[in-house]
Amino acid sequence: MSANGQAHTDFHATLRAVTRTYPGARPVHALGSIDLDIARGEFFSVVGPSGCGKSTLLDVLAGLSAPTTGRVSFEGKQVAGRVPEGVGVVFQEDASFPWLTVYDNVAFGLRRAGMDAAETARRVDYAVGFMGLRDFTHAYPAQLSGGMRQRVCIARTLVLQPRLILLDEPFGALDQQTRLLMGDELLRLWRETGASVLLITHALDEAAMLSDRVGVMSARPGVFIDLVTTGWARERDSRIVSDPGFGAITARLWSSLRTESMKAIGREA
């Protein structure tokens, strides 16, 4: 997989004055106003208290739902009504297709796009190997653990060679050790593909370890209250947790988030 998109200055995805209100008898103002620029090749994470609109932000950026006001663009074109070509989404829930084997799950998007069998096989083999699923190529999702199913979903997105990958708490359901290792895989994937990444997470350490920049969101309606630049080198992995800078970043994220999280809990109680 080639490292495409080496230009550094242009913004890859942009949100301008974006808000989202869920209509109804009592409309819920879930998000915004949000202004955000994601640079080409950047690893950007969003942390925030539960229910702050993180997933809404991802939906709007992906084109899965339209902003109530404001403008979303990807590679200079407005995102409207559908997911643009070049954007890949990985959800929090298990979204593997239970009726397909691992191989067929991963090949799904390529076959749909009409890619020939040889190239499909080449890309699927690569993605399956990359995600450590080689021994389970012909297994069904029901035979896999939760972490492996999530890797199937990542591989299914990866084979399409997205230039912007959006991940909505993809490791939320996994244990801590698995999450750290999946984080390493995600970093490797990010480096090898050259894609931009937006990661939604509730884990501060995950955000601090993986990201170039972390956006901290307030309680609902979610707005960015802090943007933290980590300054990590592009070559990095989970061993970064022993770096003194890691503790400082995590501490800053938590100090920004603490009052907001208390608000969120108070509101829910």
Partner 1 sequence: MGDAPRPAPRTHVKKLGDSLLILALILAIWQGLYAYAGDVAISSPLNTFTFATGLLTHAPFWDHAAATLLAFAYALAISAAAGIALGLLLGLRRFAGDVAEPLLVSLYTIPKVTLYPVMLLVFGLGMSAKVAFGVIHGMIPVILFTLTAVKNIPPVLLRTARALQLRPLETATTVLAPAVMPEIITGLRVGFALTLLGVLIGEMFASQRGLGFLIINGINSHDVRMTTAVAVIVVVFAVFVNGAMLALDRRVHHARA
Selected binder of partner 1 within 38, 57, 62, 164 (CB under 8 A)? 62
Which DSSP string corresponds to 3-27?
A: ------SSEEEEEEEEEEEE-SSS-
Q: Which stretch binds partner 1 (CB under 8 A): 2-10, 106-114, 233-241, 252-260?
A: 106-114
Residue 121: CB minimum distance to partner 1, A: 19
Tokens coding 254: 């938590």
Residue 112: CB minimum distance to partner 1, A: 7
Given the complex with partner 1, which of 172 and 236 has the nearer CB atom?
172
How many Å separate Cα 237 from the centre of its chain? 17
Which DSSP string corresponds to 159-176?
A: TT--SEEEEESTTTTS-H
Q: Which stretch binds partner 1 (CB under 8 A): 107-115, 171-179, 181-189, 233-241?
A: 107-115
Which of 29, 47, 37, 17 has the alpha carbon at shortest distance from 256?
Answer: 47
Which DSSP string corresponds to 114-127?
A: T--HHHHHHHHHHH
Given the complex with partner 1, which of 97 and 246 has the nearer CB atom?
97
Q: Which stretch binds partner 1 (CB under 8 A): 31-39, 85-93, 229-237, 258-266?
A: 85-93
The helix-helix angle for 117-130 and 102-112 (nearest 10°) equals: 130
Q: d(Cα 220, Cα 20) in Å, to the nearest integer? A: 11
Q: d(Cα 176, Cα 224) in Å, to the nearest integer? A: 27
Given the complex with partner 1, which of 36 and 61 has the nearer CB atom?
61
Residue 129 found at the interface with partner 1 (CB under 8 A): no
Residue 83 found at the interface with partner 1 (CB under 8 A): yes
Given the complex with partner 1, which of 3 and 99 has the nearer CB atom?
99
Residue 53 found at the interface with partner 1 (CB under 8 A): no
Which of 28, 49, 47 has the alpha carbon at shortest distance from 262?
Answer: 49
Residue 142 found at the interface with partner 1 (CB under 8 A): yes
Residue 168: CB minimum distance to partner 1, A: 10
Residues that bind partner 1 in the complex, under the rule CB under 8 A: 62, 64, 82-83, 85, 87-89, 91, 93-95, 97-100, 108-109, 112, 140-142, 153, 160
